[in-house]
Chains A and B, each alone.
Chain A
Amino acid sequence: MIARGAPGRKPARWMVLLDPVFLRRLATHVLIFTSFIAVWEWAGQTGRLNDLIMPAPSAIAAAIWRMYVVTGEIYWHFFVTMFEAVSGFVIGGVIGLGLAIGAALSLTFRRYVAPYAVALNVTPGIAVTPIFIAWFGFGWNSKIALAALIVFFPIFVNSLSGLLRVDRDTEELMRSLGASKMQTFFKLMLPNAAPMIFAGFKVAITTALVGAIVAEFASATEGIGIMMQRYAHRLDIAASIGVLISMALMGLLLFTLMEVADRRTVFWLRPERLEQVSRKRRRRLMALK
């Protein structure tokens, strides 16, 4: 009888810094990256690159410095887009998850919601942009609406398949214990679906960002998408690339937030988290009266 996750303290995270293999790999990564940048810079400095097409890294760095430090113009746009994406995500997520729950609990509901969900799925959500702008105006609302629309389907479909993927034996166990429908839902179906639901969230959060940015491209006065558009129109490639990097940053930031939420919620699929949660649970159960 051997436990797989044998108890015992694991080495701390920072210990990896002492691992020679890790250090060598890290060094190689850094080396590759810097030599790439160096060659690129050299090509730019010696006039081998056309500034209108691919400016040197230093020019891009200067553009980034300008928008982040000198003028600081990016912060507001950054915030606007982030707000639009997150609001859209929340709205689309609540609707998507809500309908998925309904569809999981009732076959009839599932049947009647399915054709519309399919129609929504095969329509490129982005195509609705002009209509939403007509409906919701040039401000933030149309961006939020578009983001909400395009995050709906990935969240709906992932949540639904997660909720339906319940082990038959475990479901019978719940029934044999006399669990109510509510109990089965909250104690079995929902936690069981959590990994899939979060998988949907993770896809959706970057999708929401795409929605917000595309809607900004189509028409907006503020937001990082319109900032990009303006620089590109002016053929200020260095600044455009700076904005593009900021967009990547925003995507990474949102994705990381989601990833952290996922790790915290779906702890049981993360072996390294089990011990901590186990200690917490033990304290809670010991305190029981």
Chain B
Amino acid sequence: MYHETRAADGADPGGAVILGHGVSKLFGGTVVALEGATFTVKPRQFISLVGPSGCGKSTLLRMIAGLIEPSSGSLHVHGDPVGKPRRDVGMMFQRPTLMAWRTVLENVLLPTELVRKVTAADRDHALELIELVGLKDFAYAFPSQLSGGMQQRASLARLLQTGADVLLLDEPFGALDEFTRERLNLELLRIVAQFGRTTLFVTHNIQEAIFLADEVFVMTPRPGRIAGIVEVPFERPRDISLMQTVPFNEMVAEVRGIFDRDNK
């Protein structure tokens, strides 16, 4: 289980939450999904992983979540080598993965239900989270009655209900339209800032990656690897207008440069 102090007294000196060293993953002995990823994620950092399809973003996330094991290299979360899924690491997918036979509230309560009997306090906590993600009036609606964006809000509330302090978001708003996505990104920033969680966010969109993150991991395919790590200096809280500024666009160009360099 999660220990507040673990990161400080763990194996690594910098107080890292996640520490990867030469992490590689092979599927079926031949497909190299990820090769030699070395990186550090510090507490409360917001990391964006950006890169084209097939560069191993999901693979990296699933390894951190303990869903699959690295083929080689070392990967530590809170000082422990990854192995099994853990309660302090939560994951959210591109599709809402809500259960159609549960109301929104029941879906949000699922993580609690799996470890103990649900109490009135759990319910009230879940209702607060549902309000936080903007679904106040839909706590008792079923997923099929919600729009795609609302379904993703619900699954975000479920992620928060786990109480995990490391949030892994795999293109959480990738299937939504531009407008909804932008809005949800802003809300995500607000929520993450409020809770002070460590976040890894996967996206295909360079602007989005930079706008959200403290650090951008730029990934390239064949074999999948982290080609560069770009630090994002902009102050928080950030506003959409940031995307129009010159420094922002210079940063976009810098990230693009990493892909172009890699293509040659």
Contacts and interface: CB of A to CB of B under 8 A. Distances in A.
A177 B90 CA distance: 7
A271 B111 CA distance: 26
B99 A183 contact: no
B91 A173 contact: yes
Contacts of A282: 103, 140
A223 B115 CA distance: 53
B120 A288 contact: yes
B94 to A, nearest CB: 8
A192 B62 CA distance: 24
Nearest to B93: A169
Interface in A85-138: none
A144 to B, nearest CB: 33
Interface string B99-126: 1110101100011011100111001000
Given A172-B67, A173-B91, A285 B142 contact: no
B120 A178 contact: no
A175 interface: yes
A71 interface: no
B65 interface: yes
A285 B101 contact: no
A191 interface: yes
Contact of B162 (A5, A169, A177, A288): A177
Nearest to A2: B147
B106 A285 contact: yes
A274 interface: yes
Interface string A172-198: 110111110001000110011010000
Interface string A1-14: 11111010000000
A288 B113 CA distance: 13
A267 interface: yes
Contacts of B114: 177-179, 183, 187
Contact of A169 (B97, B110, B180): B97
B145 A3 contact: yes
Interface in B114-168: 114-115, 118-120, 123, 134, 138, 140-142, 144-147, 149-150, 162
Max chain B Cβ within 10 angstroms of own Cβ: one of A167, A170, A177: A177
A48 interface: no
Given A172-B62, A172-B67, A188-B99, A274 B86 contact: no
A7 B113 CA distance: 28
Interface in B57-95: 62, 65-67, 84-87, 89-91, 93-95
B106 A4 contact: no
Contacts of A274: 141-142, 144-145
Contacts of A264: none
Interface in B39-69: 62, 65-67
Contacts of A177: 85, 90, 110-111, 114, 162
Contact of A268 (B62, B95, B115, B142): B142
Interface centre among B62, B94, B110, B142 (most CB of A within 10 A): B142
B123 A278 contact: no
A230 interface: no
B142 A278 contact: yes
Most buried by A among B97, B113, B146, B150: B97
A177 B134 CA distance: 24
B138 A3 contact: yes
Given A170-B97, A191-B101, A176 B85 contact: yes
A118 B10 CA distance: 56
Interface string A256-281: 00000000000111010010011101
19 contacts: A1-B147, A1-B149, A1-B180, A3-B146, A3-B150, A7-B141, A169-B95, A172-B67, A176-B65, A176-B67, A187-B99, A187-B113, A188-B99, A268-B101, A269-B100, A271-B144, A274-B145, A285-B123, A289-B119
Given A3-B141, A175-B67, 12 more contacts: A1-B149, A173-B91, A173-B93, A176-B89, A178-B85, A178-B86, A178-B114, A194-B101, A268-B101, A271-B145, A274-B142, A285-B123
